[in-house]
Amino acid sequence: MTKIGADFAKRDYKLVEDNEDVRFFPTRGFSVMLGGNKIGSVGVIHPEVLGNFDLTYPVSAIELEFDPMFDHFKNQNE
């Protein structure tokens, strides 16, 4: 992330447990927060969702919005 000037030592990102997202197994889903804004989700896919796609092995997924992330780090360097 050094190419965009990201300084992860500042810790302006965090994971917040999200039990509302039904895609993820209970207590295994998290919102990715950056500067107080939700920019994505990460978690272990719920067994029912796996069954809907005939997946037999556990799956984890991550979804990130890159534009807000890049904007955040760009603004830090201005």
Given pLDDT bands bounded at 50, 70 and 90, which one contains residue 58? very high
Per-residue pLDDT reduced to its tens digit, 46-55: 999 999 999 9
State how far Cα 53 lies from the chain centre: 22
The radius of gyration of the chain from alpha carbons, rounded to an integer in Å, stands at: 15
**What is the per-residue pLDDT for 2?**
46
Torsion (CA) 64, 66, 68, 71 in degrees, nearest 10: 150
- Return the domain boundaries, the chain: 2-72
Answer CATH for 2-72 from 3.40.190.290, 3.30.70.360, 3.30.930.10, 3.40.50.300: 3.30.930.10
Per-residue pLDDT reduced to its tens digit, 22-47: 999 889 999 999 888 899 999 999 99
Distances in whole angstroms, Cα of residue 11 to Cα of each of 33, 36, 50, 72, 77: 11, 11, 33, 13, 15
